[in-house]
């Protein structure tokens, strides 16, 4: 896919130029486009979803396929994928408009490209699961406390103790 290659090349250039020597970079990593495939979001909008890994961030990237008005640069749009609502920000690089949702930044918790790639693939697998029909839940007793909303990482990676901040 041409737009994915353009994005990866643009961020690789940024890593070698503007970001060169910045302490925020994980020198063990390189820029990589992971798992980009055509997909429908939960509202049946067509796009290409994947993960862009760089030495300083890992973002979900949505490349819209429809001819509609793209999300304005810097504006946030909630997009639901695999039953998970995530905030995407309108972005542009190398003349390519896209939406990005931050997963990690900085990237120091990744030892090597294989570790970053494995996490990117796990996130995509989670977001590409079919959405199950909601089951009828039993009514909660009036004394039950509501369950706190999980943080994005907790939701994506199954961490039970994480709460939204």
CATH number of the CATH domain containing 29: 3.30.1460.40
Cβ atoms of 122 and 110 within 8 Å: the answer is no
pLDDT at 65 (0 to 100):
87
pLDDT at 33 over 90: yes
Is 133 inside a domain boundary?
no
Q: Which two tokens stand for residue 121?
A: 């693939």
Is 106 inside a domain boundary?
yes
| Nearest residue to 86 (alpha-carbon basis) of 40, 17, 32, 155 | 155
Is 104 inside a domain boundary?
yes
Total residues belonging to the chain: 165
Is 158 inside a domain boundary?
no
CA distance linking residue 143 with residue 123, whole number of Å: 35
Domain range for 50 is 2-127
Is 123 inside a domain boundary?
yes
Q: How confident is the model at residue 136 (pLDDT cuts 50, 70, 90)?
A: low
Q: Looking at the 3D structure of the chain, how many domains does it have?
A: 1
Lowest-confidence segment of 50-54, 66-70, 72-76, 144-148 by average pLDDT: 144-148
């Amino acid at each position: 896919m041409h737009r994915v290659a353009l994005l990866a090349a643009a961020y690789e250039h940024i890593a070698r130029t503007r970001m060169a020597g910045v302490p925020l970079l994980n020198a063990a990593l390189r820029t990589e486009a992971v798992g980009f495939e055509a997909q429908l979001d939960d509202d049946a909008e067509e796009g290409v979803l994947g993960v862009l890994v760089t030495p300083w961030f890992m973002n979900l990237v949505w490349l819209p396929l429809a001819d509609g008005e793209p999300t304005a640069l810097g504006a946030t749009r909630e997009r639901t994928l695999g039953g998970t609502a995530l905030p995407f920000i309108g972005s542009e690089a190398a003349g390519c408009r896209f939406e990005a949702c931050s997963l990690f930044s900085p990237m120091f918790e990744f030892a090597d490209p294989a570790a970053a790639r494995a996490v990117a693939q796990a996130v995509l697998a989670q977001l590409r699961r079919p959405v199950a029909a909601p089951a009828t839940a039993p009514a909660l007793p009036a004394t039950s406390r509501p369950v706190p909303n999980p943080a994005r990482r907790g939701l994506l990676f199954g961490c039970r103790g994480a709460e939204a901040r």
